[in-house]
């Protein structure tokens, strides 16, 4: 099953609740919340108070993508604010197993994220711990960057490993997902599609989300 996770990074923040509602009406089923600290990535966004407000604005799961150093310090705060899914970067976590279990101890789905330069192989010891793996198809920090095709072989590898090892993590992709890239990522194995620019930057988020999801579903029906 393919799901669309609109990323509010590209939303109009003065009308955030309405923007989220419109993206949901277009078929978005998970709201992706990009948390940036100005250290792990060269940009700053928001913290738990914004998650707390979003929690009142939607019943959809809130997928908090932590692009921050020392995430252990902040995970309880995001969980208390209403996060449903929390993901952390492999590159930011020296004690990744501990961090993932900390997320689970707060009754959230635990995800691990890899940057474009990080191989899937570095996740081999945590694939049985995580609920989802997020493959970055841009270098994190900003919306509206071009898709990096190198992510495709990582999506395929994660799908193969899941079958081989009989695991059940889900596969998410984030960065540059739009009408011209969505079929390729879906056919490579992506099941949760994060999209910011393609949903919120050009016209009606409801129409944009609907068109993207339609293209994704069509891609699942095409033979690869
Ligand atoms: C990038 C963020 C993404 C971002 C994707 O660091 O993790 O979630 O919103 O944006 P688009 O869809 O515009 O590439
Ligand atoms: Zn993200």
Is the pTM of the predicted complex or chain greater than 0.85? yes
Among the listed residues 37, 63, 131, 174, the single catalytic one is 174
Q: Is 172 in the pocket of ligand 1 (CB under 6 A)?
A: no
| Radius of gyration over every alpha carbon of the chain, rounded to an integer in angstroms | 16
User: Average of pLDDT values for 149-174?
Assistant: 98
Closest ligand 1 atom to Cα of 175: 14
Residue 86 bridge partners (DSSP): 64, 110
Q: Is 140 in the pocket of ligand 1 (CB under 6 A)?
A: yes
Q: 34 an active-site residue?
A: yes
Count of alpha carbons within 13 angstroms of residue 131, beta-carbon side: 16
User: Average of pLDDT values for 101-106?
Assistant: 99
pLDDT of residue 217: 97
User: Average of pLDDT values for 76-99?
Assistant: 99
User: Average of pLDDT values for 171-184?
Assistant: 98
Kindly tell me if the per-residue pLDDT of 82 is higher than 90.
yes
Residues within 5 A (CB) of ion ligand 2 = 34, 65, 174
For the chain, give the mean pLDDT. 98
Pocket test for ligand 1, best of 30, 33, 185, 196 (most atoms within 8 A of CB): 196
Helices (DSSP H) in 12-95: which residue ranges?
16-25, 48-57, 75-81
Among the listed residues 34, 37, 63, 131, the single catalytic one is 34
The secondary structure of residue 205, as a DSSP letter, is H
The secondary structure of residue 145, as a DSSP letter, is P
Could you tell me how far CA 83 lies from the centroid of its own chain?
A: 13
Q: Is 145 in the pocket of ligand 1 (CB under 6 A)?
A: yes
Closest Cα to residue 110, out of 25, 23, 39, 170?
170
pLDDT digits (tens, 9 = 90+) for 6-59: 999 999 999 999 999 999 999 999 999 999 999 999 999 999 999 999 999 999
């Amino acid at each position: 099953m393919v799901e669309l996770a609109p990323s509010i990074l590209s939303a109009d923040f003065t009308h955030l609740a309405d923007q989220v509602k419109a993206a949901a009406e277009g078929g978005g089923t998970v709201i992706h919340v990009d948390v940036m600290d100005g250290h792990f990535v060269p940009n700053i966004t928001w913290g738990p108070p914004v998650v707390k407000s979003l929690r009142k604005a939607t019943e959809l799961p809130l997928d908090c993508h932590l692009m921050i150093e020392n995430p252990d310090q902040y995970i309880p705060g995001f969980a208390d604010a209403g996060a449903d899914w929390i993901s952390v970067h492999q590159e930011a976590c020296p004690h990744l197993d501990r961090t993932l279990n900390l997320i689970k101890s707060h009754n959230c789905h635990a995800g691990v994220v890899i940057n474009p330069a990080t191989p899937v192989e570095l996740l081999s010891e945590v694939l049985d711990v995580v609920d989802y793996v997020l493959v970055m198809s841009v270098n994190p920090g900003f919306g509206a960057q071009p898709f990096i095709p190198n992510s495709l072989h990582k999506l395929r590898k994660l799908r193969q490993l899941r079958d081989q090892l009989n695991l059940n993590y889900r596969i998410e992709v984030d960065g540059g997902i739009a009408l011209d890239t969505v079929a390729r990522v879906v056919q490579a194995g992506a099941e949760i599609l994060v999209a910011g620019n393609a949903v919120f930057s050009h016209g009606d988020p409801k129409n944009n989300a609907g068109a993207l999801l339609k293209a994704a579903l069509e891609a699942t029906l095409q033979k690869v």
